[in-house]
Structure 1
Amino acid sequence: MSDQAICWLDGHLIPAAEASVSVFDHGLLYGDGVFEGIRFYHRRVFRLAAHLHRLADSARVLALELPLDTAGFGAAIAQTIAATPWESGYLRLVVTRGVGALGLDPRSCSQPCMFIIADRLKLMAEDSHRGARLIIAATRRLGADGLDPRIKSLNYLNPILARLEANHAGADEAIMLNTAGRVAEGTADNVFIVRERQLFTPPVTEGALDGVTRGILMELAAAAGIRAAERPLSPYDLYTADECFLTGTAAEVVPVAEIDGRPLRQCPGPVYTELSTRFQALIDEETRESS
């Protein structure tokens, strides 16, 4: 957290370092809540509607009533961005079940808690010139029969365990497999591979989050005449790919240099370069003020 990070907490703007929630908040006690990571560029939010739609879906599955409607979220986010010193940055929008009694029963929580953190992050994208070094984690992604990965909840212990493996191995990121041994996603990003100028990514049924940036890259690939499809992938597919890259709101688009010590054939490759360029152009198109 930077010294200039700002927090919107239940309607009030304060320095993030001074923000606090109750120790009885069920988001803290049990991970009972939902969140979205959102980017802003040139002081304008990128793809806010898609993020709020996913937030609403996650909350609905958890039977969690959101404290604001779409217009209210937009106003709170705009107020937060206006208070930051940066032209571009990262927002973390969190809604918890709120304060309640000790015990799992959410009926004791009468009012959800909401906050928005505005900050800057050091991300893999900043070192994208060299490409990311990945490992395949031993920790498996929880299946949809346990906790559907489309729910963007506050409980991230599963990918945190995989991230610890990456840290111990000196890698930048870890790829998580599902219980069948097929590729699900990274700890905080979606995975794409390229074979003979064809783009493939695991379907959400394999354990991947339905990422906003993931969807954008699929659209950009189609516009560029690159065949893009969802397909189950194995570690073999990762090792033998022409290119591999990661996508996410925080990560943006990051090329992969090696996986488990095996160098990719191309990094950065031509498909990554083309789609990354188109992605940055789309950001500028949607967030820069018209002249």
Structure 2
Amino acid sequence: MKTWIDGRIVDAADATVNVADHGLLYGDGIFEGLRVIAGRVFRIERHLARLQVGAKAIGLELPRSPDALREIVEETARAHGEREAYVRLVVTRGVGPLGVDPTTCERPGLFCIVGAIRLFSDEQRRRGLDLITSSHRRPNADALDMRVKSLNYLGSALAKLEARQRGADDALLLNARGHVAEASVANVFTLHGDVLSTPPATDGCLEGINRAAVMQIARSIGLEVRERSLGRLDFFGADEAFLTGSGAGVIAMRSLDGRTLGAGEQGPVTARLTALHRRLAETEGSEILPASKGQS
């Protein structure tokens, strides 16, 4: 694992963050999670555009230009040296005195981590995921807009913990109105016939980069794609259901709260979308880590 911090790339074990950083103390900051797939950083421009919007939303000035941030991501990925990796680009409010006041921080903090990530095993990907409905709720957008990828992921962590303690792989989170928002750290989709549905951002989900890619792919193969409010019943009645995310990729759901979804395994449309998503990521954008001899 490699980390860019303070203008240099070091092993993660040698990277240090000041304990007075408000990102650590108060979750005051934003981040982007990106994937390196087949030596390419998937849709880096869209990630950086979302980072800029998030920074503006919380009144944080990015310490580098988008071009400089892109260079940091790509340089760190090259230093890591693996054609399959996960990237975490983090911008904090910066170091300041104790107290939540953001104006006491002189300048933002910035670091980039590149390493391996394995949210789910090969067996889980083959069989699909078992989910529960979490008792934790997504806040309304007027309280905390989930379209901003802030450093406060406590709700997601508690939902994941609840799922693991109940013997499940992950959890669905509902909003205050009882509509499905998303999984702990992934967007969700249901398929009914040739209609693919996913919750709108107004229901408390992140407007995921991979979510948008899957919607694009689905339309290209003739599916009707709708952003609409979903309840648990929509999952129980679905032919197929799956998650998407930078860490998760595309992965099927096989059950919810102990009830089988669809055929209880990865369905043919999910399998096709998974393959097409992978193909898109393998060919889109510039290759920053060429394959070695003998690789394809």
Match of residue 245 from structure 1: 242
Q: Choose the corresponding residue for 1:174, options 152, 171, 176.
A: 171
Aligned residue among 49, 54, 60 for 1:53: 49
Partner residue, 1:192: 189
Match of 1:203 in 2: 200
Matched position secondary structure for 2:142: coil
Q: Which residue of 1 aligns with 2:293?
A: none
Distance, in Å, in 1 between the alignment partners of 2:36 and 2:73 is 10
Contact map agreement 1:32 1:153 (CA 8 A) in 2: yes
Aligned partners of 1:125 and 1:254 also within 8 Å: no
Note the C-alpha offset of 1:97. Answer: 0.5
Whether the 8 Å CA contact 1:41–1:287 is kept in 2: the answer is no
- Alignment-mate amino acid for residue 159 of structure 2: A
2:280 is matched with which residue? 282
Q: Equivalents in 2 of 1:123, 1:209: separation in Å?
A: 18
Amino acid at match of 1:196: G
Q: Which residue of 2 aligns with 1:21?
A: 17
2:229 pairs with 1:232? yes
Question: Is 1:42 paired with 2:27?
Answer: no
Confirm or deny: 8 A CA contact 1:125 1:253 kept in the other structure. no
Residue 272 of structure 1 corresponds to 270
Which of 97, 102, 105 is residue 101 of structure 1 equivalent to? Answer: 97
Aligned residues: 287
User: Mean alpha-carbon deviation: is it higher for 269-278 or for 187-196?
Assistant: 269-278
1:132 CA drift (Å):
0.5
Pairing partner for 2:75 from 70, 75, 79:
79
Shift in Å at residue 44 of structure 1?
A: 2.0
Q: Is the 8 A contact 1:192 1:244 kept in 2?
A: yes
Moved more, 129-138 or 74-83: 74-83
**What is the deviation of 1:158?**
1.3
Rounded Cα–Cα distance in structure 2 between residues aligned with 1:123 and 1:160: 13
1:221 counterpart = 2:223: no
SS in 2 for 1:222: helix
Aligned to 1:150: 147
Shift of 1:273: 1.4
Runs of 4+ in 1 over 6 A off after TM superposition: none
> Which amino acid in 2 is paired with 1:55?
L
AA in 2 matched with 1:57: V
**Cα offset for 1:287?**
5.1
Deviations 1:138-177 (A, max 9, x none): 1111110110010100011111111111011111110000
Query: Quick one: which of 178, 183, 192 aligns to 2:180?
Result: 183
Q: Structure 1 residue aligned with 2:108, among 92, 97, 112?
A: 112
**One-letter amino acid of the counterpart of residue 201, structure 2:** V
Q: Distance in 1 between matches of 2:70 and 2:45?
A: 9
Taking only aligned residues, the RMSD between alpha carbons, in angstroms, comes to: 1.4
Deviation of residue 183 (structure 1)? 0.4
Counterpart CA distance in 2 for 1:162 and 1:239 is 20
Name structure 2 gaps, 5 residues minimum: 291-295
Say whether 1:68 aligns with 2:64.
yes
Q: Which amino acid aligns with 1:132?
A: L
Residue 190 of structure 1: CA displacement?
A: 0.3
**Following TM superposition, by how much is the alpha carbon of 1:191 offset from its aligned partner in structure 2, in angstroms?**
0.4
- Structure 2 length as normaliser, TM-score? 0.94
2:40·2:282 contact (CA, 8 Å) conserved in 1? no
Between 1:119-128 and 1:238-247, the stretch displaced more is 119-128
Structure 1 residues without counterparts, runs of 5 or longer: none
Q: Hey, what's the Cα distance between the residues in 2 that align with 1:43 and 1:114?
A: 24
SS in 2 for 1:71: helix
Cα separation, 2, equivalents of 1:213 and 1:248? 6
Q: Distance in 1 between matches of 2:175 and 2:136?
A: 9
Give, as a single letter, the amino acid of the residue that structure 2 aligns with 1:276.
T
**Residues 242-291 of structure 1: CA deviation (Å, up to 9, x unaligned):** 11000001101000111111111232112111211111111111157599
